Amino acid sequence: MKAIQLHQYGGADVLVMEEISKPVPQENEILIRVKAAALNPIDSKIRSGSMQQIIPLPLPFTPGWESAGIVETVGTGVTQFKSGDEVIARVPFAKAGAYAEYMLAGESEIVRKPASLSFAEASSLPIVGSAAYTLLFKAGHLQAGQTVFILGAGGSVGLLTVQLAKQAGAVVIGTATGEDRNAVLKAGADEVLEYANPDYAKQVHDVDLALDLVGGPAQEALWPLLKKGGLLLSTTMPPPADRAATWGVTASFIFTQPDQPVMEKVAELAGKRSLQIHIGKTLPLADVAQAHFLMDQALVRGKIVLEMN
């Protein structure tokens, strides 16, 4: 089968297409004929080697952590799925394998693909959708009437977070810049602040839940927005415990892994078109280096998806 291989860490050009053996599903595993695989910023970090201490992967390996496709065969012990089922997969970061014509996933790492979604749309859901849902509800315990502030609302996770929070009855304030401002408003935000002007405290206060989807120095601007007892969650870097104590709030770093019940909920919402995924560009598997270059340079708004023949 054709698969993208990473033999050494580096830039987008280290990704090469090769012919490798088709994997064979073992107990509780499923072999998926991949139709589409989505890219995420963490793909670039893993490819570059900057995360090899956190997510060690043996070289060579086939990148890719979320996909949509059709069940080819199943291993022993699999009861939920059968050959021919259309599915969405999200495997752990220590596993990988989606940039290929076929990939393996555990039974608990896939869910059924809603018929209303294209394979490209479905492949774009697991990581960003699960992150958004986990931030708001599993970790954030968001309730109707609360106020949520989203730093970096114009990205793929941010836009889904805006949609989910608004549907839950929250007051939603986000930051964005340029063309992303309109996208955030269209997603349902009550207010959008200019990301480049970080003195948000002049306009916002008494926030129940602040979400940091950006990291770096920008995180510091979130503390004064929170009410006493509020919650700050970050997907990018651990918030300092001493800063949280100073401001009288709780803060946590959220690193999502495959969660089948959450994936099922997100897929259900997307299938009903209650969640909208924006795909910025689709490319064939052979153009993976170009896809990574476009992502690295932030030249595409929305998800980039690799499609298989």
pLDDT tens-place string over residues 42-89: 999 999 999 999 999 999 999 999 999 999 999 999 999 999 999 999
Domains in the chain, start-ordered, CATH in brackets?
A: 2-125+277-307 (3.90.180.10), 128-253 (3.90.180.10)
Round to whole Å and give the CA distance between 211 and 181: 17
**Global pTM value:** 0.94
pLDDT greater than 90 at residue 134: yes
Residue 231 confidence class, pLDDT cut points 50, 70, 90: very high
Over residues 119-146, the mean pLDDT reads: 98
The tally of CA atoms less than 13 A away on the side-chain side of residue 124 is: 26
C-alpha distances (whole Å) from 72 to each of 8, 34, 35, 84, 269 are 30, 9, 12, 6, 26
Q: Give me the pLDDT at residue 33, please.
A: 98
Q: Are 139 and 252 in contact (CB under 8 A)?
A: yes
Round to whole Å and give the CA distance between 168 and 171: 9
State what percent of residues in the chain have pLDDT above 70.
Answer: 100
Q: Give me the pLDDT at residue 309, please.
A: 80
Q: Residue 246's CB: how many other CB atoms inside 10 A?
A: 10
For the chain, the average pLDDT equals 96
